[in-house]
Structure 1
Amino acid sequence: MNSKLNVVVRVDLDHARAQVIAKGHVTVHSVNALYVVVKRANSLHEGLGVELDISHARVDQEALEMLHASSETHHLPARIDPQQAPCTISVLAPRTAARRTHAPALIAA
């Protein structure tokens, strides 16, 4: 998997939705770039729902916790958005997190 962060944004203003798709490696440092993209998308339309799809990215646990915290509080970190505009974020978790929680049991032969 590529360590660079690649981001694509899809916006549907008619339905007040935006999708931010990230691929690559999301770290505690690169998560700030995602926050900036989400902030820009959120500023396009009041009440816009933003879906952050990181299902095809490798995401560090601490970065994932930061994203979930923003999702729960409906605000981006103050260093990214000092005005603290409401931001409805839903995070689609990476597949790697699902693999860890549902690891298959080993069978002795």
Structure 2
Amino acid sequence: MNTKLNIVVRVDLDHAKALVIAKGHITVHSVNALYVVVKRANSLRDGLDLKLDISHAWVDEEALEMLHTASETHHLPAKIDPQQAPCTISVLAPRREHTSARRAPIAA
């Protein structure tokens, strides 16, 4: 697994849509870099429908909760966007989550 965060942005201004695709490992620290990219994409046009595809990323549970909070509140964290511009973001959930603790084997 590549732990380096790779972010691609696809924008369709005619239809007011943007897709941010993240691959790699998303942690509570690297999620801030993702927020910055989302903020820049969101600033391109009012009412932009923004989708965040993290389906091919390893996402720590706490980082996933942070992303879902931004989706539910329609705002990015205040330290990233002090003006709290509306941000309609939909998170396309990952297929798997990375956790630092290994699960204990189940005894028969």
Q: TM-score, normalised by structure 2?
A: 0.89
Q: Equivalences for 1:57-96 in 2 at 5 Å? A: 57-96=57-96
Deviation beyond 2 Å, 4+ runs, structure 1: none
- Residue equivalent to 1:100: none
Q: Which residue does the alignment assign to 1:31? A: 31
Deviation of the 1:30 alpha carbon? 0.2
Give the root-mean-square deviation of aligned CA atoms: 1.0
Structure 2 gap ranges (5+)? 98-107
Percent of residue pairs bearing the same amino acid type: 83
Question: In the comparison of the two structures, how many residue pairs are matched?
Answer: 98
- Read off the aligned partner of 1:3 and give its amino acid letter: T
1:49 matched to 2:49: yes
TM-score by length of 1: 0.88
* Distance in 1 (alpha carbons) for counterparts of 2:58 and 2:37: 18
Describe the superposition over 1:6-59 as per-residue Cα deviations: whole angstroms up to 9, x where unpaired. Answer: 000000001100000000000000000000000000000000011000000000
C-alpha deviations, 1:41-97, integer Å up to 9, x for none? 000000001100000000000000000000000000000000000000000000015
Q: Which runs of 5+ in 1 are unaligned?
A: 98-107
